[in-house]
Amino acid sequence: MSDHRPDTPACILVRPQLGENIGAAARAMLNFGWHDMRLVAPRDGWPNPRATALASGARDVLERARLADTLAEAAGDCHFTFATTARTRDMSKPVFTPETAVAEARARMAAGQRVGFVFGPERAGLENDDIAQASAIVTVPVNPGFASLNLAQCVLLVAYEWMRQGDAAVRQAPVPASASVAEVTQWATHLEHELDAAGFFFPPAKAPHMKRSLRNLWSRMPLEQRDIQILHGALRQLVRGKAGGG
Amino acid sequence: MSDHRPDTPACILVRPQLGENIGAAARAMLNFGWHDMRLVAPRDGWPNPRATALASGARDVLERARLADTLAEAAGDCHFTFATTARTRDMSKPVFTPETAVAEARARMAAGQRVGFVFGPERAGLENDDIAQASAIVTVPVNPGFASLNLAQCVLLVAYEWMRQGDAAVRQAPVPASASVAEVTQWATHLEHELDAAGFFFPPAKAPHMKRSLRNLWSRMPLEQRDIQILHGALRQLVRGKAGGG
C-alpha cells in the first residue's frame, strides 16, 4: 500500500470473471478519483490483458491493484467494509443505501479508518460467506421490477456518491478505534479453533452453517482493538483454566 | 405519449450511434423507473435489433420510445431541458450538476411541467446547435484528469440522482430482534461466572475494573437474541469440552 493516508475507499472485487469488467471497474473508479483497487482471486488470473486493454487511461489503477487469495487478506487493513448486494439478505447486518454508506465511510475515514467496498462476481454476486465477513451491507435501491446494474455500474454509483458528498460533508461524530478486519478475523479464527477442539461444531453437517453464523456475528459487532484483546485473553484463560484442572 | 401525467423526466438521445448503447441506456433508465425514451435520428435507423437484444427486460422502454427527426420535435412538449455535456462550454447557460439539475427538474415537474434530459452521440457529444436549444447544461463533475463516462453511464447517474432525491428512496433497514437488557446481562453474568472459575480476574485488585470492561463491551454490541443463544452454547461447550478431557 501507499505510505500516505488513503483519501478514497478501497474497491475490492471478489472473484471477478471477465477482464473487461475489471478494466471497466477501474475506469468507473478513476472517474471519481478512486485508485485503490484490490482483486480477490480473479477467475482468469492476473495480470489480465483484456482488463488492461479496456482500462485505457485507467491502467495505472490496474497496475497498482493489490492481488489477494481471500477477501480476509484483501480487506485486512480495513476497519469497516460494505458488501454490495442486489437484495438485502437475511444476514442481520445493517443495510445502507449508497448515500448513507458513503456518509458512514466518510466519517470513518475522516477519523483515520480505512474503509472498503466489496463487489461480487458478475453473475452470482457475493456469497454468504463473503457477506458474513463484512461489517455492513449496501444495496442500490433500484426499481423492484427491473434491476440490471452491472459490476462497473455498481462501482460507478458508489464512487459517484463519494464525489457528490464531497470533503465538506464530513460528519463530526466521534468514531471509536475500530478493530481492523484482520484483527476481527484473527479473533473469530481463534474462537473457532477452540470451539472445534471442544466439539462445539456438531453434527458435522451443521458445522459450516454454525461457523458462518459465528463469523457473521463478530463481523457485525462494533469491536474496538481493546475489545479484541479482552476476548482473546478471556478465551485463553477459559481454555487454560479448564485444562489445568478447573 | 401516455395520457397520464409523466412521473419521470424524458430521456432524449440525440443521434445515438450504436444500437447496443440505446439498449443499455434503456436498461439504465428502467433501473430507476424511467420509461420515457425519445430518439432523435438514430444513426442506424429504428427499430434496431441490436438495441432490442441488449435491452432485454427493458424492451418495453424501446417499444414505446418516440422517434423524431429533430431535437426540437423530440423535446416539443418539454418545458425545460437539460443538455448533458462533458465540459461546460461557453454557452452562457446555467450549469447544473446532476444533483442540482434533478432538484430543479423535480420542482418543475411537481408544478406540472415536463422536463427532458438530452444526451449526445457516443463519440462527440452534443453539438453547439443542440445545446443552444436546451434550457440549461448539466455536467457530471468527474476527475479532471480522467473522464470516461459512456452514454448509458451518464443516463444511469442522472436517473440514480432522480431516485435518490425521491420519496421512494426510503432506507430499508430491517429491524433486528434485539436482545433485551436482561438477556445481555444474563449472558455477561454467565461469562463472568465461567471466567471467574477459570481464574481470569487476576490480580483481585483489578477484578472490578476487568468485570466492568467486559459488561461494557457486551452492552455496546448490537446483539440479537440468536446471537445470545449462540454465545451461551459456545461457552457451555468450551467449558464442558475442556472439563471432559481437553
What whole-number distance in Å separates Cα of residue B118 and Cα of residue B130?
Answer: 9
- Strand B36-40 versus strand B95-96 pairing type: unpaired
CA-CA distance, A75 to B191, in Å (whole number)?
31
- State the CB neighbour count (10 A cutoff) for residue B19: 23
Residues of B in contact with A222 (CB under 8 A): 220-222
DSSP reduced 3-state for B81: strand
Full strand arrangement of the beta sheet holding A115-119: A66-68, A36-40, A10-14, A115-119, A80-84, A136-138, A95-96
Tell me the residues of chain B between 31 and 70 that have a Cβ less than 8 Å away from chain A: 31-33, 56-58
Checking if the pLDDT of B3 tops 50, the result is no
Q: Which helix (H) or strand (E) holds B38?
A: strand B36-40
Check A99 against B243: CB less than 8 A apart.
Answer: no
Coil, strand or helix: which one is A176?
coil
Q: What is the pLDDT of residue A1?
A: 40
Tell me if B194 sits within 8 A of B240, measured CB to CB: no
pLDDT tens profile A171-188: 444 556 788 888 999 999
ipTM score: 0.80
Residues of A in contact with B28 (CB under 8 A): 153
Among chain B residues, CA nearest to A151: B153
The whole-number pLDDT of residue A172 equals 41
Q: What integer best gives the mean pLDDT of chain A?
A: 89
User: Taking 50 as the threshold, does the pLDDT of residue B57 lie above it?
Assistant: yes
Q: How far is A68 from chain B (nearest CA, A)?
A: 27
Chain B touched by A101 (CB under 8 Å): no
Each residue of B78-92: pLDDT tens digit? 888 999 998 766 666
**Nearest one of B237, B232, B194 to A194, comparing CA atoms:** B237
Integer Cα distance of A90 and A108 in angstroms: 25
Contacts A56 to B, Cβ<8 Å = 148
The beta-carbon neighbor of B172 closest among A88, A152, A195 is A88
Rounded CA-CA distance A2/A61 in Å is 13
Binding-face residues of A in 113-132 toward B, CB within 8 A: none
* CA atoms within 13 Å, Cβ hemisphere of A112: 6
How close A32 gets to chain B, by Cα (Å)? 5
Residues 6 or more apart in contact with residue B61 via CB below 8 angstroms = B26, B29, B30, B34, B35, B37, B55
Whether B1 shows a pLDDT value over 60: the answer reads no
Among A164, A56, A168, residue whose Cα is nearest residue B147: A56
Contacts of A32 in chain B (CB under 8 A): 142-143
Coil, strand or helix at A7 = coil
- How far is residue B56's CA from residue B20's CA, in Å, rounded to a whole number? 11
Domain coordinates of chain B in residue numbers?
A: 10-165, 181-243
Strand (E) or helix (H) holding B67 = strand B66-68
Distance of CA B29 to the CA centre of its chain: 12
Distance from CA of B229 to the nearest CA of A (A): 11
Average pLDDT over chain B, rounded to an integer: 88
- Confidence band (pLDDT; 50, 70, 90) for B193? very high
**Under an 8 A CB cutoff, do B217 and A200 touch?**
no
Residues of chain A positioned with their CB less than 8 A from the CB of B245: none
pLDDT bin (cut points 50, 70, 90) of residue A46 is very high
How do residues B203-241 score in pLDDT, each as one tens digit? 999 999 899 888 878 877 888 888 999 999 999 999 987
- pLDDT for the residue A3: 39
CB contact under 8 A, B31 and A241: no
- CB contacts < 8 A (A, B): 160
The beta-strand segments (E) located in A18-165 are 36-40, 66-68, 80-84, 95-96, 115-119, 136-138
pLDDT in tens, A181-213: 889 999 999 999 999 999 999 999 999 999 998
Q: Band the pLDDT of A37: cuts 50, 70, 90.
A: very high
- Chain A residues lying within 8 Å of B163, measured CB to CB: 141-142
Q: Cα angle at B139 between B133 and B142, to 5 degrees?
A: 160
Give bridge partners of residue B137 from the DSSP assignment.
B83, B95
Q: What is the pLDDT of residues B101-142, one digit of tens each?
A: 999 999 989 888 899 999 999 989 999 889 888 889 999 999
SS3 for A129-174, per residue? HHHHCCCEEECCCCCCCCCCCCHHHHHHHHHHHHHHHCHHHCCCCC
Q: What does the pLDDT read at residue B241?
A: 76
Neighbours of A206 (CB within 10 A): 11
Contacts of B158 (CB under 8 A, 6+ apart): B84, B98, B101, B102, B117, B138
Within 8 A of B101 by CB-CB distance, chain A residues are none
Name the band, by pLDDT with cuts 50, 70 and 90, for residue A56: confident
B75 and B118 Cβ atoms separated by less than 8 Å = yes
**SS3 state of residue A36:** strand
Condensed to tens digits (0 to 9), the pLDDT of residues B165-185 reads 985 443 344 445 677 778 888
- For testing contact with chain A, the best of B238, B239, B240 (most A CBs within 10 A): B238
Q: How far is CA A117 from CA A36, A55, A96, A137, A205, in A?
A: 11, 20, 12, 9, 32
> By CA distance, what is A86's nearest residue in B?
B31
Which pTM value belongs to this model? Answer: 0.81
Shortest CA distance to A210 belongs to which of A188, A225, A229, A226? A188
Tell me what pLDDT residue A90 has. 67
pLDDT at A242: 62
Question: Which fold would CATH assign to domain A10-165?
Answer: Alpha/beta knot (3.40.1280)
User: pLDDT tens for residues A80-138?
Assistant: 999 999 876 666 788 999 999 999 999 999 988 999 999 999 989 999 899 988 999 99
- When pLDDT is averaged across residues B14-18 and rounded to a whole number, the result is 98
User: Is A237's pLDDT higher than 90?
Assistant: yes
Closest by Cα among A96, A103, A144, A147 to A118: A96
> Residue B155: which of B117, B124, B123, B126 has the closest Cα?
B117
Within 8 A by CB and 6+ apart from A2, the residues are none
Show residues of chain B in contact with A149, CB under 8 Å.
31
Side chain identity at B158, as an amino acid letter? Answer: V
Contact A194 B148 (CB under 8 A): no
Residue entry with cell 475515514: A109
Q: What is the pLDDT of residue A88?
A: 67
What's phi and psi for A33, nearest 5 deg? 80, 10
Looking at chain A from residue 145 to 184, which residues have their Cβ under 8 Å from any Cβ of chain B?
146-149, 152-153, 156-157, 160, 163-164
Q: Which of B157, B176, B230 sits opposite A160 (nearest CB)?
A: B157
